[in-house]
């Protein structure tokens, strides 16, 4: 082999080795990029399924979290609020105990508001030997227009509830009240709060007493009823009229 042929073969081999070096570097780079991308993906995916899920329904994810359906938000707000207002024997003991029991489903602000309300009622003598329970007003259950979205991680839930209280076994209250509960995403402690939602009490709204004359049994609940007055949100139609709560 002549020296020229030897040099040509050596140059060709160097070019081949250089190409291999580039290929190996590209593979390493792509591998590192793939590893970084995989590391960035959520390790846990939260799925919220509506109770009436049907064939063909889709679940949308953002940041490893599915959108919470309106029925789930309503059900959460109803359950937690009903538990807080469940005083089985004596409001002095039961109110504080229920706040403690539900603490992982309340924002710190809401918990402080409930504590202040309990102390105010206790100072007025409205808790001793009191029992309380709240239930949905018959004929006014969940509907889509009772859950108002406030951004991507907050909702206003309109609960129309019948509130009954007794003192020493005698009924002292039986009223209809609308509670505009604010529900927020609350990913703080998944072990104690798997819903990752919390009540933020009423936000900028306030509860209001409903007029029983507007609640006509045996008729369409949406008939002849006007929208509530809720500041800062778009009020849904076809819900009972309201007056302020004393």
The string of pLDDT tens digits covering residues 135-173 is: 999 888 888 889 999 888 899 999 999 999 999 889 999
Of the listed ranges 33-42, 62-71, 210-219, 226-235, the one predicted with least confidence: 226-235
CA pair distance 175, 135, nearest whole angstrom: 11
Task: Please check the confidence at residue 183 and state whether its pLDDT lies above 70.
Answer: yes
Task: Please check the confidence at residue 114 and state whether its pLDDT lies above 90.
Answer: yes
Task: Please check the confidence at residue 189 and state whether its pLDDT lies above 60.
Answer: yes
Give me the residues paired with residue 157 across strands: 147, 181
pLDDT of residue 44: 52
**pLDDT range class, residue 88, cuts 50, 70, 90:** very high
CA pair distance 195, 197, nearest whole angstrom: 5
CA pair distance 234, 15, nearest whole angstrom: 70
Q: Two tokens at 142?
A: 């969940």
pLDDT of residue 224: 33
Task: Please check the confidence at residue 245 and state whether its pLDDT lies above 60.
Answer: no
* Contact (Cβ atoms closer than 8 angstroms) between residue 135 and residue 162: yes
CA pair distance 187, 11, nearest whole angstrom: 62
Domain spans in the chain, listed from the N-terminal domain onward: 67-244
CA pair distance 48, 60, nearest whole angstrom: 10
- Using CA atoms, how far residue 101 sits from 24, 95, 142, 147, in Å, is 59, 10, 25, 25
pTM of the complete model: 0.69
Digit-coded pLDDT (tens) for 25-71:
777 777 776 666 555 555 555 555 555 555 445 555 555 566 788 89
CA pair distance 92, 121, nearest whole angstrom: 9
pLDDT of residue 154: 94
**What residues have CB less than 8 Å from 45, skipping those under 6 apart?**
61, 64, 65, 66
Instruction: Classify each residue of 86-95 as buried b or exposed e, where b means 16 or more C-beta atoms within 10 Å of its C-beta.
Output: bbeeebbebb
> Helices (H), strands (E): how many in the chain?
4, 9
pLDDT of residue 243: 53
pLDDT of residue 97: 97
**What residues have CB less than 8 Å from 2, skipping those under 6 apart?**
none
pLDDT of residue 197: 95
For residues 176-197, average pLDDT: 91
Instruction: Classify each residue of 138-156 as buried b or exposed e, where b means 16 or more C-beta atoms within 10 Å of its C-beta.
Output: eebebbebbbbeeeeebbb
pLDDT of residue 193: 92
The CATH number of domain 67-244, selected from 3.30.710.10, 1.20.1740.10, 3.10.450.230, 1.50.10.20: 3.10.450.230
């Amino acid at each position: 082999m002549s020296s020229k042929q030897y040099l040509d073969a050596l140059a060709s081999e160097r070019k081949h080795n250089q190409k291999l070096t580039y290929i190996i570097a590209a593979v390493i780079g792509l591998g590192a990029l793939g590893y970084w991308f995989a590391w960035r993906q959520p390790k846990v995916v939260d799925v919220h399924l509506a109770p009436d899920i049907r064939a063909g329904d889709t679940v949308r994810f953002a940041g490893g979290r599915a959108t919470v359906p309106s029925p789930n938000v309503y059900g959460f707000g109803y359950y937690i609020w009903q538990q807080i207002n469940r005083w089985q024997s004596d409001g002095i003991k039961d109110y504080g105990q229920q706040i403690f029991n539900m603490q992982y489903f309340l924002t710190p602000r809401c918990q402080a508001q409930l504590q202040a309300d309990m102390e105010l009622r206790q100072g007025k003598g409205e808790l001793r030997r009191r029992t309380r329970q709240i239930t949905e007003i018959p004929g006014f259950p969940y509907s889509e227009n009772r859950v108002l979205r406030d951004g991507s991680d907050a909702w206003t839930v309109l609960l129309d509830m019948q509130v009954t209280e007794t003192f020493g076994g005698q009924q002292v209250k039986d009223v209809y009240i609308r509670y505009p509960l604010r529900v927020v995403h609350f990913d703080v402690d998944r072990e104690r709060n798997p819903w990752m939602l919390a009540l933020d009490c009423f936000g900028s709204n306030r509860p209001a007493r409903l007029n029983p004359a507007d609640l006509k049994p045996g008729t369409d609940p949406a008939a002849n009823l006007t929208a509530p007055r809720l500041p800062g949100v778009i009020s849904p139609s076809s819900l009972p009229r309201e007056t302020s709560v004393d």
